[in-house]
Structure 1
C-alpha cells in the first residue's frame, strides 16, 4: 500500500490538492478561528492556535512520505507560520502595552528574516529554503529534533504569555504571579529563536548582495 500511495502521488500534479497543502489549508482555517476568538474566548483561541501550530509538523511529514514537496507548499507553510505568529503578537501588544516595542521587534525580525531568506534561496537556485552553508542554519534545518524544539518552544512562549494575561494565578512571594513562571521558562528558547532569525536575515542579505554583484560582473563582462 505504501509504494502504491507513493507512486500515485508522484504522478499527481494537482499541487492544490497535495496532502501537505490540504493540511496547510486546515492550518489557515484554524488560525483564522483563533484570530476571531482571541479577544472574547481565550480557551477557544488557544486551542485553535495550538492545533494550527501543531499541524505544522505533519505537513512536512506528508510531503516527504507521499513525495509531494512543492514550492507552493513551502511558501504556504512559511506564510501561515509568519502570519499566525503575527496575530498572537498583535494580541499580546494589546494585553501587554508596556512591552509593545519588544513584541513589535520580535515580529519584525521573524517576518523580515524568513521573507528575505526565502527570496535569497530562490535567487541562489537552491532546491529548498532549508539549505544553508551557515553551520547554525544548517543545524536548524537538518536536525528535526532541534528544529522542533526551537519552533515548539517559541510558540509555547507566546501562547503561555497570552494565557497568563487571562489567568495570572496566585501571587507568589508578593512579587510575581504563578502563571508568569511558565513563559519565563520558555523565554530563553524564544530568545535563541529570534537570534537564529537575525542570522537568517544577515546570511540572506549576503546571498542577495552576492547575486547582485554577480549580475553586475556578468553585465560588465558582456560589454567588453
Structure 2
C-alpha cells in the first residue's frame, strides 16, 4: 500500500507559525493608534518564535517550510514595525530603511545559501566556519540575548512614542531601555551583514564548483 502523504501545513510548529503571522498582521493594523494592543500582539508573535522551535523538536516535525515560515515572519514582523517607526520618527527614516534592508536581504541570502546546500535548518552551519557565526548559532544564551535586545530596542522606540513610563535615572523607562539596547541592535545588524557575506562566499563557491564541473564535462565531450 502507498504511504499516506503527510500534511506539512498541519504540523504543530507550522500552525504556531500561522498564528504568528496572524498576530503580526493584527499588530500592524493597530500600530499607528493602539499601542497596548499592538504591543501585545507583536510581542506574543515574537515569543511564539521560541515555542514553534520547541514544538518542532518535541513532535519531530522540523521542516524546510517551517524554517522558511519562521524566518519570513521574523523579517516581516521587524519590517512592519520599522515602517511604523519611520512615520513616528521621520528624521531617522534613512536609518530605519538601512536597518530593514540589511535585515531582509542578508537573512534571505543566508537562508537561500543554506537551502541550495541542502541543509535542513539555517542553524546547521559549518562548525569549522566563521567563529562569530558559530557562537551566534550554537550558544542559545547568546542568540536569545541578541534577538531579545534587538526586539527590545525597536519595541521601546515604539512604546516611547506614546508613553514616557516611570522615571529611572532621570529619564523615562522606555527611553532608557532604548538607549541600553541600542548597542545590541547595532551589533545584531553587523551580524546580519556577516550573514550576507558568509552566504555570498558560500554561493560563490557553489558557482565555482558548478562551473568547474561544467568545464570538465565540456572537455570530456570534446
TM-score by length of 1: 0.90
Indicate yes or no: 2:200 matched with 1:205. yes
Indicate yes or no: 2:68 matched with 1:75. yes
Indicate yes or no: 2:151 matched with 1:155. yes
Indicate yes or no: 2:210 matched with 1:215. yes
- Indicate the residue corresponding to 2:54 in structure 1: 61
- Indicate the residue corresponding to 1:107 in structure 2: 100
Determine if contact 2:137/2:143 at 8 Å carries over to the other structure. Answer: yes
Determine if contact 1:106/1:194 at 8 Å carries over to the other structure. Answer: yes
Determine if contact 2:157/2:178 at 8 Å carries over to the other structure. Answer: yes
- For structure 2, which runs of at least 5 residues remain unmatched after alignment? none
Q: Distance in 2 between matches of 1:149 and 1:173?
A: 23
> Aligned-pair RMSD on alpha carbons?
1.9
What does residue range 80-159 of structure 1 map to in structure 2 within 5 Å?
Answer: 80-132=73-125, 133-159=129-155
Equivalenced residue count is 213
- Deviation of residue 13 (structure 1)? 2.2
For 1:35-86, what per-residue CA distance to the aligned partner results, in whole angstroms no more than 9, with x for missing partners? 1100110110011000100110000000011100000000000110000100
- Deviation of residue 208 (structure 1)? 0.9
TM-score by length of 2: 0.90
Moved over 6 A (4+): 170-174
- Deviation of residue 173 (structure 1)? 9.8
Q: Distance in 2 between matches of 1:29 and 1:77?
A: 13
- Deviation of residue 172 (structure 1)? 9.0
